[in-house]
Every structure is written in C-alpha cells, then in structure tokens.
Structure 1
Amino acid sequence: MTAITALTACNRSQNNATQAAPTPQVSVLKLHPQPVAVTAELPGRIVAFLEAEVRPQVGGIIQQRLFTEGGEVKAGQPLYQIDPASYRAARDSAEAALQRAQAAIPSAQAKADRNQTLIKQNAISRQDYEEAIDALAQARANVASAKASLDTARIDLDRTTIRAPISGRIDRSTLTPGALVSASQSTALTTIHQIDRVNIDLTQSSANLLNLREAVDPGRIVTTNGSVPVKLKLENGSTYAPEGRLEFGESSVASGTGTYTLRATVPNPRRLLLPGMYVRAIVEEGTVPQAYLLPQRAVSRNTRGEATALLVRSGKVEEVELANAREHGNDWLVTQGLHDGDALIVEGTQQARVGDTVAATEVILDAATGKVRALPAAKPNSAAADAKDPAKTTQQRS
C-alpha cells in the first residue's frame, strides 16, 4: 500500500509538471518577396587594353635609346635611333635618279610633238612617229619609278628612328645601344602597355551558363538588356572602387576545361591594376523579380543534404524544403516553397520541434551585424493617451 501510494503521487506530480510546461518561445522574421539582383563571382586575369611590341623595320646598329624604361610614352614618340648613314645615302641616290629621269622628259616631249606635225605632212614614216610616242611614255614611266624609289628610300630613312606605335607604359629595353638589329626580327626591343583602362578575361563553367539559361527562359531571372556592371575584388581582399562593364562573351567553350571566356573593361586611372594580376569579378547576371532572402543562421540541411527552414504557420512549427536555393552574400536566395508574410524562425529552433505549438515574437535582423533586434515600440496614439489622463482632459475642456 505504501509503494502504491508513492507511485500514485509521482504520477500526479509528473502530470502536473507536464500540464505546467511553458509554451516554447521563438523569434521570427516576417518574409516578403522582393526583386533581388543575381550575381556570380568569377576568377579572371588583368589584360592590357592595348599592347604593342616594338620591333625594327630596317636593319642597322642602334645608336641610342631615347626613352626612360618603365615610364609613360606618347604615340609617335622616338624610342630608338638606328644609324641612318646608309639610308641617307640611298635617299640621295634616289633623288639623283629622279632628276635624271625628269631631265629626259623635255627632249622626248619635243620629239614627239615634232613628229606629230611631220606625220600629218607625210614627211616621216608611221614607225618613226610611234617610236617617238613610245620614248615619251617610257620617259614618263621612268620618272614615276624614280619617285616611287625615292619614297621608299625616305620611308626607310624615317624608320631608322623607331617610334612608339601607341601611348602607354613602356617596359625595359631588351637591347642596348651598339646592338645590331634586323628588319622584322623575332625579338622585340620593348613592349608598351596601355593601362589607363584594362580588360579582364573572366572564365565561367558551361554548367553555370546552362543553369542561367534555364532560369532566364521561364522568367525566373530577368536579364539586363543594357550594360552589365562588374565589380572587382583584388588579391589582398580589398574591393576595387571603379566599376567596370561587361563587353562580350566568347561564342565557344574550351574543350579542355569546359569553360568559356567573358571580357570586361574597367577604368584604371591610378595604374593600380597591372597586366597578369589575378582578380575576382562580381558580375550581375540578372534580377529575380520575386525572391526571398533568408539569413544563413535560419537555414539548415536535412539528412538528404537539402536546404530547409522552420516556419511558424497557424501557431505551429513547419519544416519547408528550399528547392533551388542559392547563396547570395550572407543570405540564401529562395524562390520556391515560401509565401508572403511567412514567419521564419531565427531564434529558438532548439526548443521547438516540427508540429509544436509555439509563441512567436516578431523581430528584425540588422543587415550590417546580423544580430536580431526587437521591433521598435509603436508610438501611442495622442487621443488615446489624453483619454487615459483625466486631469489633462479636464484641463483641455476648461
């Protein structure tokens, strides 16, 4: 009897404890759809906007270098001077040949005019007349040939001064004064890079391209018809301030890597970006018209590895699978399985289980710190406050 009495007392105390257990308290964040820009972070390399290798177009001995290595040069600025003596002599010879050819023109012209008069009088044969006309034509051809030879000699003489083909920053010189160079040699004398703005060659996998196209076709993502902005992250983790623009994408996929190349152009006024530098570019692929942003702290994964979240609907906890969810900064971007006004549990998930009745308190999330903050208190209505204060009401009436 004593044992039965003690057992009955224990059962009553457990029932009382169960009946007195408090309702789990959770903090919820109200979800509302909004347009969200979809971005992709792609690796890339800096490429000079313009690049020119400087090579000689005539052969000879380099007399002097006329630029400062590593400095800025302007298009047309002299860079090297090749010994011009032989080319100057060739020009003078071409000028003399032109004068000799021009000197033969007057006599040939006079003979042709005279024979033209005589042929009308039948004083000379037709053959003599034609020979005089041919001699005049040959003399004029000799003058044209001599002019062309003179132009060639002048061009070769001018090319003894090697000039910058473009403006930009020039590299070191591979040869020094006294070196022998030849026309169109394989070794470049130096290289000029124009880097006041630079190109960025970005690579993206073909699988991501297919996923984007599949999202664009049904309208889940709306692409930008105009220019696409590009932001850069440098090797040290800092963000590059000037914003670039996407120029084009190649029309083929590399068979070896399964990637295709995009090219963007970015301003580089401070010459901070140098060719060959590694960067990561954030490219805006399009906009999701109706999307939900869920903080990462409120999203977990089930045993199948699918992203899930806990919601409070009709006062009870429900688990929702987030199909096709993707990371978006510090949040998850979700387009399926949610409704406007859903209450997402951001605190108290350890105390609440699926199917439990919970007491939800709405909160807001600080976007900068990610911390949960209570909703600001609503300001009391002035009329209601006056009604609660009889003294103030009496004073107003008086």
Structure 2
Amino acid sequence: MKKQLQKLACILFFGLCFLAVNGCDVQHTENSAKKETVYSIKAKVVQTYDVAQSFSLNGRVYAYARADVRPQVSGVVKERLFVEGSLVKKGDPLYQIDDALYKAEYDYAKAALSKAVDQRKQAERNLRRYEKLVAQHAVSRQDYEDRLLDYALSVDDEKLAKAELDEAAATLEYTKVRAPISGRIGKSNITAGALVTENQSDVLASIIDLSKVYVDVQQSSAQWRTFKQQIQNGSLVSNQKQSEEVSLFFDDGSRYPTNGKLSLTEVQVDEVSGNVTLRAVFDNPEQILLPGMAVRAYFAGPIKKDAVVVPAASVTQDSAGRSYVFVIDEENKVKRQEIFTQGLCDYGWIILSGVKAGDKIAVNGTQKLKTGMIVSVEGDAQDVK
C-alpha cells in the first residue's frame, strides 16, 4: 500500500511539472503574439509651404501669323513660282500674272512723263526770256504773267505724269504676286491659265508663320474672379514672374519641351460660355505645334502662403469619397481623421481642414491601420510627397 501511494505521488508530481512547463510555453506564445501585433510604419510631420494655386485648362493652337494670298490686279496666271508646302520668305514671288497689258500702260505713262518734262523745260525757257523782255518794257506785264502761268501748269503736269508712272509701275509689279510674310505655304488653289481678278474673295494660297504659335484656353469667370478677390484680400499673393510661365502638355501626357509666356487675358467674358480667354505664346522652332492642335496648358497661378500640405501617399478615400489620414499621437496610437482638401501641389495635398502643422501622420501601410491601433514608427518619411 505504501508503495502504491509513493507511485501515485510521483505521477502527480510529474503531472504538475508538465502543466507548469506547458503553461510557461502558452504564456510565452501569447506574449509573442501580442508583440507581433505592433505594426511598423513611417510617418511624417505635417508642414506648411508657399504653394502656387496651379490649374490646367484645355486649349487649342493657333497660328502666330497667317496671310491669305490674293491678287491685286486682274489677269491670267502664267505660272506658279513656288513649291507647295515649302518655306517662303517675305517678298518671294509666288505667281506670275500676264503683264503684257500692264507693261504697255507703264510704257505709255513713262512716255507721258518724258513729254511733260520737255514741256516744263520749254515753259521755263519762255519764262526766263519774258523776264528779260518785261524788264526792258519790250512786252506787256500781262504777257509775262501768262508765261508764268504756263510754267506753273507745266510743273503740275510733270508731277501728274510722275504720279501716273508710279501707279503704272506699282500695277506692273503687282503682276508678280509676292509672299506678304515669311512662313510655310500650303497648297495652291489655282493653276497656270486661271483667270484671277483684283481683290477677289477666293484665296490663291495661304502662308502660316510657325516660328511661334498662340495657345488659347478658356478659364471660367468664377475661378478668375475668385483668384482676383483672394489676391485683393491677401489670401493669395500674386507672383508676376511665375504666373507668366505656362507649360504645355499633349493628349498622350507628354510635355512640350519649352515653356510659354502668358500674353493676354481677355477683358470681357464670353456671354455664351461664361469663360475668359487666356492666350499664351510659345516658340516653335521645330514646328511641333500646328494650328488646330488640341493641348492642355498648365498655369502656376498665384501663391498661397503657409498652406498646410500632407504627402499624397498619406491620403486615403473611402467608398463614399471622403478623404482621410491616420494621425499618430504621442503614445503612437492611431486615429483616423477626415480631411478636406483644396487640390494637389508639388508637395502633396493642400489641406483646408482636418489636420494642422505639427501633426504626425502615417505615410505608408494605411490600408491596414485602424483607429486605436498601437504602431511602431520607424522614422520620418522625409522624401515622400
């Protein structure tokens, strides 16, 4: 009996030891599990920046200079003197109109001027002779005055003949239709043998100067007025140099390599669309921009001083479209905070309300965060925007 009691005591002793050891393992496992629930993230302290109130608008490219070529005299076109689609310079001949009739008129005017010059010289000689005779009382004063009038009329006739010759020379010159501006000329709308008339409505050809182009965009009058009012009350600061810079983007998202300059803000609102026209000028040395091309223009806009900005990576939206961030307090406890944004800038989202400068917010792993969680902050994400 005694041996049985000893055996039972040994069994109980070893059982208690096993339970004790197993309990330690369970406690260690629970502590490890708790330790593993602490989530490591990076955070950033909310800062303020001076940011431009940038905006982008759809626009269209227009020619910097365009000239429609029309004849200034009537006649039959003898030949075309240019290659369609080529570059032409101001003054280059484009068409030759039959000049036979105009050359004859020029020769007639030239002969008339020569005759008028001879008559003026003859009248001048007569006047000089009568000046001597009237001094000698050999002719009457009336005869002298008649010679004086003849000379004056001959001078007027010479001037008239000279003007008619100049007109005939200009008309003859107009038979050679020249380029009014430098640029690239399009297709010819007529061929040799066509009859053209002075100042006709039909265009012979068009020349477009592509060395520069205009880009016109439409800004809503409400946005334009808001900017003006905020500048006046001090909420925004006008930055003249930066506001003049305009960037350009194509429909595939690529950027035009050269910035343009804002050259015009229309002084009236379009009654139909309610928009204000903004015009920018871009250099176009490679002629990448063509009239009629649809583009998107980016304007820097006025400056908002000390704007509260959070990194774009820290902002999350729920299914209802509400934006929020996760704020981390001094005890590394997470709190979901709804925010109201104004728009994006180079540094992230501009905040209207919800967080303030100095708050610490999570910038990664936000999809796993919940209010009340304790997190481990690895460090500030200084390079996150």
Q: Give TM class, smaller chain.
A: 0.7 to 0.9
Alignment identity in percent? 35
Per the TM alignment, residue 110 of structure 1 is displaced from its structure 2 partner at its CA by 2.3
Per the TM alignment, residue 213 of structure 1 is displaced from its structure 2 partner at its CA by 1.8
The separation in 1 between residues aligned to 2:347 and 2:307, in whole angstroms, is: 15
Change (3 A) 1:128 1:342: same
Per the TM alignment, residue 357 of structure 1 is displaced from its structure 2 partner at its CA by 6.6
The separation in 2 between residues aligned to 1:236 and 1:309, in whole angstroms, is: 32
Match of residue 135 from structure 1:
150
Q: 1:100 aligns with which of 115, 118, 135?
A: 115
Per the TM alignment, residue 348 of structure 1 is displaced from its structure 2 partner at its CA by 4.2
Match of residue 382 from structure 1:
none
Per the normalisation by structure 2, the TM-score is 0.81
The separation in 2 between residues aligned to 1:176 and 1:107, in whole angstroms, is: 51
Matched, 1:231 2:247: yes
Per the TM alignment, residue 246 of structure 1 is displaced from its structure 2 partner at its CA by 1.3
Whether the 8 Å contact between 1:78 and 1:164 is mirrored in structure 2 is yes
Per the TM alignment, residue 337 of structure 1 is displaced from its structure 2 partner at its CA by 5.2
Matches within 5 A, 1:284-295: 284-295=300-311
Count of equivalent residues:
348
Per the TM alignment, residue 311 of structure 1 is displaced from its structure 2 partner at its CA by 2.1
Q: 1:163 aligns with which of 167, 172, 178?
A: 178
The separation in 1 between residues aligned to 2:366 and 2:72, in whole angstroms, is: 78
Letter in 1 for 2:356: H
Whether the 8 Å contact between 2:74 and 2:197 is mirrored in structure 1 is yes
Whether the 8 Å contact between 1:230 and 1:283 is mirrored in structure 2 is yes
Matched, 1:352 2:370: yes
Whether the 8 Å contact between 1:108 and 1:136 is mirrored in structure 2 is yes
Letter in 1 for 2:343: R
Q: 2:131 aligns with which of 87, 98, 116?
A: 116
Match of residue 333 from structure 1:
350
Match of residue 240 from structure 1:
256
The separation in 2 between residues aligned to 1:234 and 1:351, in whole angstroms, is: 39
The separation in 2 between residues aligned to 1:161 and 1:338, in whole angstroms, is: 74
The separation in 1 between residues aligned to 2:62 and 2:53, in whole angstroms, is: 26
Letter in 1 for 2:358: G
Whether the 8 Å contact between 1:290 and 1:335 is mirrored in structure 2 is no
Counterpart secondary structure, 1:285: coil
Match of residue 161 from structure 2:
146
Change (3 A) 1:92 1:271: same
Per the TM alignment, residue 101 of structure 1 is displaced from its structure 2 partner at its CA by 0.7
Matches within 5 A, 1:190-269: 190-226=205-241, 228-269=244-285
The separation in 2 between residues aligned to 1:117 and 1:348, in whole angstroms, is: 116
The separation in 1 between residues aligned to 2:202 and 2:366, in whole angstroms, is: 70
Unmatched 5+ residue regions in structure 1?
Answer: 1-16, 371-398
Letter in 1 for 2:328: V
Per the TM alignment, residue 74 of structure 1 is displaced from its structure 2 partner at its CA by 1.1
Change (3 A) 1:133 1:305: same
The separation in 1 between residues aligned to 2:134 and 2:336, in whole angstroms, is: 114
The separation in 2 between residues aligned to 1:330 and 1:61, in whole angstroms, is: 67
Per the TM alignment, residue 255 of structure 1 is displaced from its structure 2 partner at its CA by 0.7
Per the TM alignment, residue 249 of structure 1 is displaced from its structure 2 partner at its CA by 0.9
User: Which structure: greater helix fraction?
Assistant: 2
Structure with higher Rg: it is 2
What is the root-mean-square deviation in Å for CA atoms of aligned residues?
A: 2.8
Letter in 2 for 1:328: C
Per the TM alignment, residue 233 of structure 1 is displaced from its structure 2 partner at its CA by 0.9
Q: Which moved more, 1:79-88 or 1:317-326?
A: 317-326
